[in-house]
Structure 1
Amino acid sequence: MQSESTGYAPDAIETKWQRAWDEADVFHIADDEADPTYVLGMFPYTSGNLHMGHVRNYTITDAYARYRRMQGEPVLHPMGWDSFGLPAENAAIERDTNPEEWTLSCIETMREEMQAMGFGYDWDREITTCQPDYYRWNQWLFSRFHEAGLVEQKASEVNWCPSCETVLADEQVEGDEELCWRCDTPVTQRELDQWFFEITEYADELVDDLDRLGDWPESVRAMQRDWIGRQHGSTVEFDVAGHGPVEVFTTRLDTIFGVTFFALAPDHPIAQDLAAEDDDVAHFVEAVADPDGDEPQGVATDLTATNPATGEEIPVFVADFVLSDVGTGALMGVPGHDDRDHRFAESMGVDITPVVAPADETSEDDAASADAGESDAPDVSESAFTEDGVLVNSGEYDGLPSAEAREQLEADIPSAAHDVQYRLRDWGVSRQRYWGTPIPVVHCPDCGPVLVPDEDLPVELPEFVQTTGNPLDEVESFVETTCPDCGGEARRETDTMDTFVDSSWYFLRYVSPDLTDAPFDTEQANDWMPVDQYVGGIEHAVMHLLYSRFVTKALSDLDLLEHREPFDSLVTQGMVLLEGEKMSKSKGNVVSPQAIVDEYGADTARLFTMQAAQPEREFNWTDEGVQSSYRFLNKLYRVVESVTETPPEGDHDTVAEYVERERDRVLAIAEDDFESLTFNTALRETRELVTLLERYADYTEPHAETVEETLSAVVRVLAPVAPHVAEELWETLGYDGFVAEAEWPTFDGDLSDVEIERRVIEDTRGDVRQIVDVADIQDPEEIQIVVAPDWKYEAYEIARTSDSPNVIGEIMQQDHLRERGDAAASYGQDLQEERQSLTEQLDPAREVAVLSRAAWLIESEFDAEVVVRQGGADEDAVSKARPGRPAIRIE
């Protein structure tokens, strides 16, 4: 890729204005500002270099923050570093260094790259989560949560990554194949003592409050609802012979008459007892059971269970599709109404009994028959019927709708009770690695686990020791300590916290980053929070966003914060692709942001990423797209230079009026786009406005004020996205101060019909081109644009607004229209056929005025005189003229 040689020199311009912004503290926000607009991009993991996903994310937030600042609002726009975590530890090991040195060097590189991109951060608020002055407060919050009963240490079967040698939270196990989110290694299970944050205490509120987050993408809210997995249902007990009552959870108690088998998880206590006595069960549990398999498997036992609704004895199986951490580890099998149960029953030769029939196939007579026990049950021999309906084959409950039957059965069966269960599990925060926040607990043989006193925080990480397993276990000076309670010998906890703890509250630390006696200033946080606009990847929809919501609610309950939600509005940006694939170092298809900056400048990269697509959509990175953005910035630079070197002296005529109307239209679009963080339409229209200015200058001597005000508007609209060149051009145009602090451009007049005006102009220009092409007219001398007579507009409005099925009749009821005879009838027939597609149009006088202002565009395109007029009522020339589509005559 070769750059053009022009007066536009990105290197010099960008360095100049970055220095100027820094010296003037343009992006600093004082602590005494009242409720600033809080704009935040998810802070980056310190991987060493920015990638194009970073550039897109942070250009979105920077553009929006700059826009809000130009609206006169104080803006909080900070940046920091998500700097703990296993990748840094592994990278340091690979490079024979320690994680701290590697991480800090990455931060230095990434900070320099962000500054080169011109991102307007308040760097005075920078935070680094691996520094003791930050992670001290992780430990402090751990203690507060522990005191509030939200922290528990318990033995648990956990997800273990053998490659990373650490525990993973459920949310960090990805896909049906259950792979580690970091390294794609298959995850195994291991029994360990672990520390948990009891996020399940907030399960209901986490679900219910999603409805309040109306400015979040529905896809994100759906993912959180699904992950929390709240289910309303019933618990009911089945008596298992020799083992007493065993509780199950079901959402379909209405199907209990169709239960034909009972199933236990392989690790259910009864299954374990059976395995100790029965070789077949033992073999299945130890060698066959595969919870991740495609088909349900099981083994028969000698046990039976009693159906509490029917009193019938049903066989008991140990089955691998029953999970101990879902429901109760036992289930009632209803193969007639559950697909998985149906497949299992077929493979095991178990009866399949239908007990619910489709409601929409059951008439009142059928319902009466159902009451008499004569209703036709659905055929479930090939597949289960899984919808609600009405009960059949269910004794006294026959004919009841499913919902009503569930309530009645819950009341009638002694052991049944309404229950709510969740997929969500408590957040396991223990990690068996070095590079994380040490958990502030001391294990005393006499006192048990004891919290480290606040005055002894932070518990700092010792020097890094390279070893397999948990490095902290190898540092005796760290491990060996004394009990804070009794003073006796004790051992320090060697697990470190999940890095998602760091990011679950970092947005609060930005409010008061230098505070030394609390994690954040509560009064100021209450004033400045929640984050008004948050931007980041959809991949954080479950882990980071869910944890942040939980921590915010817990802080509110601890009276540390008034707010119960951290982020008011959320945008999840799409990926940047190259040749249709996500950019990835492993695929070798990464485009370096720094390389683009070096060759084309930061503004080019920023402009291309913002105009390529709306933020939430993926877009393909192309060299042509980059070059096009670069060429536009060069063009704009030349236009401004030419205007300042040779000021225009033309008159304010209809051409100037057209340019001003187009400017106002673009400003209206820009304000809408920037408010909604969509940007791309506004940027495209702004580029076209610059092209229009060039055409204006080629056509006639422009009007000085029209050109100056239009260029001023263009520069200000571009300032949030291409801030360096905008500052340079603002200065070139002779304005004082920074464009970053200038007022956002406004427009005058009524723009309610501006899109109709544009459509009329573009349709008319298109019609002229078509006639010239079809008729092969080489050198047109005069082009007449003849607007339809008044009577056609009146008939059009009758057809557009009438509810009558007979549009022609409505039109012909008007005496002055009926006088038009066959012309009105024929036109009415056309309107009758097109009435569903009729849209609002300008009145004829406005249409003439609009086309007159735009006539110069057609004149300059075809080098012909253009006449715009309204045709007479009986003029032949207007026979084809319609509202919004004038007749065209070319001499």
Structure 2
Amino acid sequence: MNQDGYDHQSVEQRWQAAWDDDRVYRTPDSVSDPTYVLGMYPYPSGKLHMGHVRNYTITDAYARFRRMQGDNVLHPMGWDAFGLPAENAAKERDTNPRDWTFDCIDTMRGQMESMGFGYDWEREITTCTPEYYKWNQWLFRRLYEEGLVEQRDAEVNWCPDCETVLADEQVEGEAELCWRCDNPVEQRELEQWFLKITEYADELLDDLEALDGWPESVRQMQRNWIGRQYGTELTFDVEGHGPVEAFTTRVDTIYGATFFALAPDHPISQTLAAEDDEIHHFVHHEADPDGDEPNGIKTSLTATNPVTGQEIPVFVADFVLSDVGTGALMGVPGHDTRDHAFASKMGVEIIPVIAPSEDAVPDVSEGAYTDDGVLVNSDSYNGLDSETARDEITADTDVAEKTTQYRLRDWGISRQRYWGTPIPVVRCNDCGPVLVPESELPVELPAFINTTGNPLDAADEWKHTACPECGGDAVRETDTMDTFVDSSWYFLRYVSPDRSDVPFDLDRSNDWMPVDQYVGGIEHAVMHLLYSRFITKVLSDTEGLEHREPFSNLLAQGMVQLDGSKMSKSKGNVVSPQRIIEEYGADTARLFIMQAAQPERAFDWTEEGVRSTYVFLTRLWNLVNSFDPATAAGDDDSVAAYVRAEIDATIAVATEEYDSLTFNIALREAQGLVRTLRQYAEYTDPHAETFEYGLNTVVQLLAPVAPHIAESLHETLGGDGYIVDVAWPTSDADRSFAEKRRRLVQNTREDVRQIIDVAGIDNPKQIDVVVAPEWKYQALEIAVESDAPNVISEIMQIPEIRSQGDAAASYGQDLQAEREALSVGLARTDEYDALEAAAWLIEREFEAPVTVIEAAAAEQSVSKKATPGRPAIDIQE
């Protein structure tokens, strides 16, 4: 597509080559305290999709904006290059994961370059290279040395299709499907390596409070995942099976415990299932932890309540989870909604033991009373408030103690696949598991063997080695690391990717970290972000990293949709970025994506919107290229003054919005200024300096989002150097004042349109705009500020207002009626000046002279209609 001289292909190719030749986006190593802007690096799947384009346009625009603000900006890119999809693709194509991955990287890098993203490609990292994953192995060693690595048997999520272990976070939905292949996940008992993230659970939770640059939704997701609960652990004696620990946050309700419940996979449940066919059937065929309602089966056992001594029935229940609490709980149906539903279904007694007051015992037959209160039906504890009772019952009960429980579990990193970081451990018959010495890192992957299961198990020559401690025969660990290990510290590697002796330069990292602005998908809110926070804290403790959080500010960008649905290959609704670049240009794609919605929100991709954006850029191109300052002969009059005020206001608003990453509002400002400049040029010969000021401002404000066309137009306007190095325009305009002025002008123009339309006026001869008298502004200000119930009496206390008689009373009634919606706008003189300066816009639109008149100079029949912010309009035919 090529319109009116704007050849987007030649423009974009020219500037991309120039940026590359002059290394425009390189960040010197010696820079201290730069602004670090980072998008979550992509998995090299082969082609960019629109989600990538949106993510990386956001970071690119912000990085360019900060650079024009004078910051030294670090804006790197790399590849999350390990992972099962590459291994599966290699098996399907009978190739190897490395070749497939690097082919994909070459393709995606080329697409990123064609989008004009301003990355420092000299800092590019690729996690599947030995130069990178050597430091994953180093990190494993450091964690091991600090006691933060453990190997143990564990029940794990096993995907039989992918033939690998999955973290809990990688099992999705009620159907428990693998996040990669959407096939059902099984449970298996395997020996696994764990990183002891639970050692940092409290700090990971507590430090969320200081991350006020993160969306609250993401912080809440992490709080929920860590799941800290303060409560009491107490021992129930289960008939024939001895003591069983149960955890509760509401030990104050223990007198209302009328049943005891075990998880289906609790050891006692498993023993019972082996002895009883009905329990076996329930445990293995009926239990559904994700079901809509709790279900269970009664056993023949009883449990002894350690406080009351009462024998209560024992159930196996599917709402009890082995990885939450202890896998056993006391059921208090009177005061827990889930327990109430279960007890009602199973016919278990429901007893109220907590009440709002001692005289108001709640009826819990139809529903649980879940609030704290005072104890009733609780023997000597009656009358105590819940908090006091929790303390006293715990202190009085020998088999009870205060404890803290977490939902968070240690991070299992063992994966039974080839395309990942080899775990640097060998197994020796004499010495047991032995770390590979640091001097022998990296332990490199052997050649790929296309086989079922774990290819490293089939790599006999690689697998068999010597023990580093005794020199005897040993076997390498054949599990590889979870790829979230790669991404848990990659942001540090960008700081010094050239260092081969350390994973990151400590001094530079202390200067540059934390990342100032991080951008990525909400789907990484738990796994990646939590692991990155954990590893950053460990490195702070062990290596002297001064910052304990990796990302100061986080933006979770919304999805790009088509017809209301997320773009995906399976749905066949993917729009190719490459096609858009070829037809409309990268600047068009970037500008449309950024102006369509706030970055956090999903938006619909429309071809019409893309075309409209291209038309806008073409008009801008023509506007700049048609301007010749030598022939611009307009006067520096009131119209030029209005345009200059609009330019200054646009700078003020757009700067604030860029800084807040609300790019759509900033771009709306720039586009509005282009419209004003076009109207100015159509209305009169523009004043050269004013018009050139406006054009330069527009180009600079658009440069972060549409950098190619901005470079060309910057050159056309006589600018020196690259526009990314041009100082961002500044303005002293007051945003609030400017927005009030704009609203006034917009409302006035709309009122003129409405009158002309309703009255059917074809050719207006004169338009008078009448500003309200000063007393009405006084009355409005009193009404806004007053707390008096009757505003009429308040305003009538002012002699000047009272002297207006019936007019003042009538206006007072209007103010009283609309009181909740009132606000103070411009002062009368400011309103008059703003309308007079903007009169040319009304004259241009309606081809009639416009006069702004004071109320005293207008006919009373017209002036009485004028109010602050809403002048009266008199149109003569």
Please give the range of the TM-score, normalised by the shorter of the 2 chains: over 0.9
What code does the residue aligned with 2:101 have?
A: T
Higher mean alpha-carbon deviation, 336-345 vs 762-771, is at 336-345
Map of 2:259 onto structure 1: 261
8 Å contact kept, 2:632–2:685: yes
Q: Aligned match of 1:88 in 86, 89, 94?
A: 86
Q: Aligned match of 1:617 in 567, 581, 601?
A: 601
**Displacement of 1:724:** 0.2
- Asked if residue 727 in structure 1 is aligned to residue 725 in structure 2, the reply is no
8 Å contact kept, 1:790–1:873: no
**What pairs up with 1:27-426 in 2 under 5 angstroms?**
27-357=25-355, 359=356, 362=357, 367=358, 375=359, 377-426=361-410
- Asked if residue 890 in structure 1 is aligned to residue 866 in structure 2, the reply is no
8 Å contact kept, 2:652–2:732: no
- Classify 1:5/1:645 alpha carbon distance in 2 versus 1 (closer, same or farther; 3 Å): farther
- The CA distance in 1 between the partners of 2:829 and 2:342, in whole Å, is 76
**Displacement of 1:282:** 4.3
What code does the residue aligned with 1:398 have?
A: N
- The CA distance in 2 between the partners of 1:285 and 1:793, in whole Å, is 76
- Asked if residue 574 in structure 1 is aligned to residue 558 in structure 2, the reply is yes
**Displacement of 1:286:** 4.3
**Displacement of 1:874:** 8.7
8 Å contact kept, 2:629–2:692: no
- The CA distance in 2 between the partners of 1:297 and 1:814, in whole Å, is 74
**Displacement of 1:645:** 8.2
Superposed CA deviations along residues 646-697 of structure 1, whole A, max 9, x for unmatched, are: 7411101111111111111111111011101111012112112112111111
Q: Aligned match of 1:438 in 422, 425, 430?
A: 422
Q: TM-score scaled by structure 2?
A: 0.98
- Asked if residue 879 in structure 1 is aligned to residue 864 in structure 2, the reply is yes
- Classify 1:691/1:287 alpha carbon distance in 2 versus 1 (closer, same or farther; 3 Å): closer
Q: Aligned match of 2:678 in 687, 694, 700?
A: 694
**Displacement of 1:278:** 4.4
8 Å contact kept, 1:644–1:733: no
8 Å contact kept, 1:644–1:732: no
- Asked if residue 737 in structure 1 is aligned to residue 716 in structure 2, the reply is no
**What pairs up with 1:455-604 in 2 under 5 angstroms?**
455-604=439-588
- Asked if residue 637 in structure 1 is aligned to residue 621 in structure 2, the reply is yes
**Displacement of 1:275:** 4.1
What code does the residue aligned with 2:610 have?
A: V
- The CA distance in 2 between the partners of 1:265 and 1:812, in whole Å, is 75
Q: Aligned match of 2:753 in 760, 769, 773?
A: 769
- Classify 1:526/1:705 alpha carbon distance in 2 versus 1 (closer, same or farther; 3 Å): same
- The CA distance in 1 between the partners of 2:645 and 2:629, in whole Å, is 26
**Displacement of 1:458:** 0.4
Map of 1:370 onto structure 2: none
What SS does the aligned partner of 1:420 have?
A: strand
8 Å contact kept, 1:258–1:336: yes
Q: CA RMSD in A?
A: 1.5
What SS does the aligned partner of 1:872 have?
A: helix
Q: TM-score scaled by structure 1?
A: 0.96
- Classify 1:695/1:424 alpha carbon distance in 2 versus 1 (closer, same or farther; 3 Å): same
Map of 2:22 onto structure 1: 24
8 Å contact kept, 2:273–2:279: yes
Map of 2:701 onto structure 1: 717
- Classify 1:408/1:472 alpha carbon distance in 2 versus 1 (closer, same or farther; 3 Å): same
**Displacement of 1:749:** 4.5
8 Å contact kept, 2:496–2:505: yes
The sequence identity of aligned pairs, in percent, is: 67
8 Å contact kept, 1:844–1:870: no
8 Å contact kept, 1:161–1:188: yes
What SS does the aligned partner of 1:644 have?
A: coil
What SS does the aligned partner of 2:685 have?
A: coil
- The CA distance in 2 between the partners of 1:287 and 1:73, in whole Å, is 62
Q: Aligned match of 2:632 in 648, 651, 654?
A: 648
8 Å contact kept, 1:151–1:197: yes
What SS does the aligned partner of 2:838 have?
A: helix
**Displacement of 1:751:** 4.5
What code does the residue aligned with 1:616 have?
A: E
- Asked if residue 671 in structure 1 is aligned to residue 669 in structure 2, the reply is no
What code does the residue aligned with 2:759 have?
A: A
- The CA distance in 1 between the partners of 2:284 and 2:668, in whole Å, is 63
- The CA distance in 2 between the partners of 1:784 and 1:889, in whole Å, is 5
**Displacement of 1:800:** 2.3
Q: Which runs of 5+ in 1 are unaligned?
A: 368-374
- The CA distance in 1 between the partners of 2:869 and 2:270, in whole Å, is 80
- Classify 1:560/1:163 alpha carbon distance in 2 versus 1 (closer, same or farther; 3 Å): farther
- The CA distance in 2 between the partners of 1:317 and 1:798, in whole Å, is 70
How many positions carry a matched residue from both structures?
A: 875
- The CA distance in 2 between the partners of 1:749 and 1:682, in whole Å, is 15
- The CA distance in 1 between the partners of 2:775 and 2:629, in whole Å, is 52
Map of 1:371 onto structure 2: none
8 Å contact kept, 2:653–2:735: no
- The CA distance in 1 between the partners of 2:437 and 2:586, in whole Å, is 49
- Classify 1:461/1:631 alpha carbon distance in 2 versus 1 (closer, same or farther; 3 Å): same
- The CA distance in 1 between the partners of 2:712 and 2:284, in whole Å, is 72
What SS does the aligned partner of 2:626 have?
A: helix
